[in-house]
Structure 1
Amino acid sequence: MGKGAGKGAGRASGGGGRFRSGLARIAYGNPLYSLILSGRAPAALAVVPPDPWPGDPSDGSAFLAGMLRMAGQSMAIDPNGEPPWRMPGASPVWLKALHGFDWMRDLRAVGGDMARRRARVLVWSWLEHNGGWNSQGWAPDTLGTRVANWIGLHDFYCASADDEFRARVFEHLGRQVRHLARVLPARLDGAPLIAAIKGLVYGGFCLPGLERAGQDGLRLLDRALPGQILPDGGHVERNPSAHLRVLRDLIDIRAVLRVARVEAPESLQPAIERMTPALRFFRHGDGGLALFNGGREEEPALVDTVLAQADVRGRTLRSAPHSGYERLIAARTLVLLDTGAPPSAGLDRMAHAGTLSMEMSVNKERLIVNCGSHPAQRGPWRLALAGSAAHSTVVVADTNSAEVLEAGGLGRRPAHVGCERQESGSAVLVVATHNGYSKGFSLLHRRRVYLADNGEDLRGEDTLEPVLGAQATDQPFAIRFHLHPTVQPILVQGGAQVILRLPSGNVWRLRATGVALELAESIYLGTGDEPRRTIQIVMHGHSGPDGVTVKWALRRERKAA
């Protein structure tokens, strides 16, 4: 879906990463360190935190049948064969999900003794094969997630178990929490740091004798939140799915502190209160989230649960200037625009080259989308779905507006992204620019989007203009509008217009001037593990020495076409 995706492996796989991994193996992977982690084993939980989060009974049933569906991979395991903890062919993201034990909620959703026994078998197997430090299972954010899950799901898999099982689980929970307290913040930032801190808080205040670790976790949280939660409530990674995860983790931390009757850091509740309206900001009419910077639709039921558990009232934001997003809404039409600079290095693991991309939905139906992201977040899928061509924006000379690194993160990127918003009644105009094409092409991209107050008239203008003082050259460009798989497009008027029919029967018409229109294949990975075929509208042309301006309009047809 475009060139300019970057060369070589990402920063995480460089020599520095291998050096640190080797040091960690020397420091933690030896018998002496195992003795250091020993201590008085808790006999029971001091408090049991609530766990209101839904699981997927379909995935749980598959799990019971020996098929583990996680992180974009389905892996079959033999209940009588080798354990899955270092499964050949499994991606690092799949293994991370396995070691994190989020899947236990899927088994809980199935219910019954068989699901409970399977959870116990896997917990015992993990203890047998991962009781000592290893880089995969003891990565701090994975460890924090596992500790929180083992404690939060205690009543499901552990409360009715035999004494030997319970004793061993609690002994190893203590060891894992002590390790976490020793290594954090462990060069982590963003959502992974919050996940690790959550485990420290769970262990510290739910396991007797580890309260100091819990207080360490609260101090780390208090230092992390001001930098992670922006003034408009958005998360610094600019990824709606990461935003959802962090908000959920903060709600869980608050719940633990409440049942343990521990005073929360001053930063915690204000962060939840700011993040909740910002989460609503990213929702389309179908209840799912917008697809920006590695985000996915997510399950509307989970989003509903997070919003309910947050227990925060407040109007949905119209503009998120610190996060770099704009929301245009009139009647039943919603448009979301990415008008911000990519997140900084270290926080850009899942970031996309989708600057000034746009999504549009009408009532509960998505119309214009970005292509989404693959759960694996690495390799060829990363290169394809993070590229500019996988977004509903302008692409110059088949080149990404930011350099996409295969192992995660961005290299070259726009140095400046600006945005202005004007409102008149219910009508909204947003004008945004970025200079991601200034290097190599001496071009600025300016996008103007206007939504009329009746919600039935969306007009846009995409301009490629020469950088001040520079001479632009003739370059091919494409304006891409990826369509949701449920939308049926038809070229009409000799290929000069496109009719777009939604499942409800509503019809919209796209017109554009100064470009050739065509329909091309595309894919959609907003949900699930397998890409769905769909169509994209491509408006293509050439920019000359003076640049080019393309005007387009989407209007709802009053009568069915």
Structure 2
Amino acid sequence: MGDGFGRLRGGMARLAYGNPLYSLMLGGRSPGALAVIPPDPWPGDSGDGSAILAGVLRFAGQTILIDPAGEPSWRPHGAGPGWLRALHGFDWMRDLRAVGGDMARRRSRVLVWSWLDHNGGWNAQSWSPDVLGARVANWIGLHDFYCASADDEFRARVFESLARQVRHLARVLPAALDGERLVVALKGLVYGGFCLPDHEKAGYEALRLLDRELPRQILPDGGHVERNPSVQMRVLRDLIDMRAVLRVARVEVPESLQHAIDRMTPTLRFFRHADGGLALFNGGREEDTALVDTVLAQADARGRPLKSAPHSGFERLIAGRTLALLDTGSPPPSGLDRTAHAGTLSMEVSVGKERLIVNCGSHPSQRGRWRAALAGSAAHSTVVIADTNSAEVLENGGLGRRPSHVGCERQESDGAVLVVATHNGYSKGFGFLHRRRVYLADNGEDLRGEDTLEPVIGATPTDQPFAIRFHLHPNVEPLLIQGGAQVELRLPSGNVWRMRATGAVLELAESIYMGSGDEPRRTSQIVMQGQSSPEGITVKWALRRERKAA
């Protein structure tokens, strides 16, 4: 039904917007300049910018070559939806700015001019509201880089197109969008409304929609409803950008916007490992540490990282130099679960700036076979029963069947922390609850856990194979010792940790890591395998730092 409804809506959109009459309706007076120019503090990647100059376009995990001196095809054969969204959103212009120099500026102008030639009228992909919103914000925010010193004809074309795009955006929003994509679209309307002369009405409409949307998306603990640390960062960045536009336009910043920024900032810190990157939950990636730093600095919000994010469903255990992060929440609601994973009760552990236990991450495309593999429970440091996901992973985004209840309790005493969490994602198919207890001692050198498969009251479970997986960061060197009863884990710093378990057989197996970049890195995982009886089973495990001999 979802696909059929989407096709129907797409057909209606083509009838409504893809005709010459609608194009005429978007006409009107074109501004000759910006009323205000907002700041753009975000770093680009000069390496990616140099690649663009060489005709190599790398977006959303896909690389497509174009003529470095000519025009690109704006819908090349084989381009995936994520690649097309990135191309038409123009975030990459920041990478050209990072290269600097006249060649990068001229190339930006050639590409903008080409876009205007080939995308001046409505198109379902290039004019989808969130892509359009990103493009409007980027064209306005990067104005001084590519447009300020251009000739009059170029500037006139850019401003005429901006006005048309903003008029369309004001007509269609909220446009059945939800979550991060709606925020991006509203950001474009804020930029267009308050930076283009005589468009304030559109800007105030964007603020009205934003005021309605923020309580839906930003949970009381400051977490974003999609439960993805990368989305947390991007939405916070978008809100910071909107606040910056309002400040330069001398428009009062709504209280709801400022409060959202103040709440989201400590929660973004919550998701950070000490290496500066983000945890890998629900499609999130490590992200560029310089960008995370800049977002936190621009937020200008005090607030230490939370210990617990009960509304978002995450726990942070920290003692000494050891940090453990646990996913203890229900998956996001349907419609907001585009990047969600079947990783309930999964865990990541880092020691100082070194990651030790990880989840496998996600492919930049967030679709297809990569999504099916990396969003599955087996790609997370958690328990899997009979090679079955704790939530049904849909290949092109979202979840089907999922846990209906995830519970969590936290206790602290004299610097030590205990978290006990349960989920019922395996209750219908197998009649078991998964209960995970994780304890971190006050010195941070002793992390202990219990994973229990507990029969659901009234169910009649049968014997089932299970695996507890702990994926290791590629920099960790594992070695089976004590006749296979323990695993020694050596970190690059030379620190050594030792994993023991009772109630299951310890093995080392291959794994992959996609925390960053477009290509998977080979790594290892500790697998604790066993068979659960109808009465259930408990596996106890301990991860302790080895003291060096004096």
C-alpha separation in 2, matches of 1:114 and 1:315 = 43
- The C-alpha deviation readout for 1:158-182, integer Å capped at 9, x for no partner, is 0000000000000000000000000
Report what 1:161 is aligned to: 150
Aligned residues: 550
C-alpha separation in 2, matches of 1:266 and 1:487 = 46
1:520 to 506, 509, 512: 509
- The C-alpha deviation readout for 1:108-127, integer Å capped at 9, x for no partner, is 00000000011001100000
Report what 2:203 is aligned to: 214
The answer on whether the counterparts of 1:506 and 1:560 sit within 8 Å (CA) in structure 2 is no
Residue 408 of structure 1 and its aligned partner are, at CA, apart by 0.5
- Relative to structure 1, the CA distance from residue 178 to residue 42 in structure 2 (aligned partners, 3 Å threshold; closer, same or farther) is same
Report what 1:368 is aligned to: 357
- RCO greater where, 1 or 2, for CA within 8 Å and sep 6 or more? 1
The answer on whether the counterparts of 2:54 and 2:68 sit within 8 Å (CA) in structure 1 is no
Q: How does 1:343-492 map to 2 (within 5 A)?
A: 343-492=332-481
C-alpha separation in 2, matches of 1:46 and 1:426 = 54
- The C-alpha deviation readout for 1:162-207, integer Å capped at 9, x for no partner, is 0000000000000000000000000111100000000000000000
Residue 81 of structure 1 and its aligned partner are, at CA, apart by 5.7
C-alpha separation in 1, matches of 2:106 and 2:534 = 70
- The question of 1:18 aligning with 2:7 is answered yes
C-alpha separation in 1, matches of 2:87 and 2:204 = 28
Report what 1:4 is aligned to: none
Report what 2:184 is aligned to: 195
- The C-alpha deviation readout for 1:123-153, integer Å capped at 9, x for no partner, is 0000000000001100100000000000000
- Relative to structure 1, the CA distance from residue 302 to residue 80 in structure 2 (aligned partners, 3 Å threshold; closer, same or farther) is closer
Q: Provide the secondary structure at the position in 2 that maps to 1:512.
A: strand
C-alpha separation in 2, matches of 1:551 and 1:560 = 27
Residue 220 of structure 1 and its aligned partner are, at CA, apart by 0.6
Report what 2:161 is aligned to: 172
Q: Provide the secondary structure at the position in 2 that maps to 1:472.
A: coil
Q: Provide the secondary structure at the position in 1 that maps to 2:48.
A: helix
- The question of 1:557 aligning with 2:546 is answered yes
- The question of 1:247 aligning with 2:236 is answered yes
The answer on whether the counterparts of 2:71 and 2:111 sit within 8 Å (CA) in structure 1 is no
- The question of 1:117 aligning with 2:106 is answered yes
- The C-alpha deviation readout for 1:32-72, integer Å capped at 9, x for no partner, is 00011111001000000000000000000011011011111
The answer on whether the counterparts of 1:507 and 1:560 sit within 8 Å (CA) in structure 2 is no
The answer on whether the counterparts of 2:97 and 2:104 sit within 8 Å (CA) in structure 1 is yes
- The C-alpha deviation readout for 1:297-336, integer Å capped at 9, x for no partner, is 0011100000000001112100000000000000100000
- The C-alpha deviation readout for 1:60-111, integer Å capped at 9, x for no partner, is 0011011011111111102466623101111110010000000000000000
Unpaired segments ≥5 residues, structure 2: none
Structure 2-normalised TM-score? 0.99
Aligned Cα root-mean-square deviation (Å): 1.0
Residue 560 of structure 1 and its aligned partner are, at CA, apart by 6.8
Give the residue type in structure 2 aligned to 1:476: P
Report what 1:510 is aligned to: 499
- The question of 1:226 aligning with 2:226 is answered no
Q: Provide the secondary structure at the position in 2 that maps to 1:202.
A: helix
Give the residue type in structure 1 aligned to 2:415: S
Among all aligned residue pairs of Structure 1 and Structure 2, give the percentage whose two residues are the same amino acid. 81
Residue 266 of structure 1 and its aligned partner are, at CA, apart by 2.1
Structure 1-normalised TM-score? 0.97
Unpaired segments ≥5 residues, structure 1: 1-10
2:533 to 516, 538, 544: 544
The answer on whether the counterparts of 2:44 and 2:97 sit within 8 Å (CA) in structure 1 is yes
Q: Provide the secondary structure at the position in 1 that maps to 2:437.
A: strand
Report what 1:295 is aligned to: 284
Runs of 4+ in structure 1 deviating by more than 2 angstroms, as ranges, are: 79-84
C-alpha separation in 1, matches of 2:182 and 2:445 = 43
Residue 442 of structure 1 and its aligned partner are, at CA, apart by 0.3
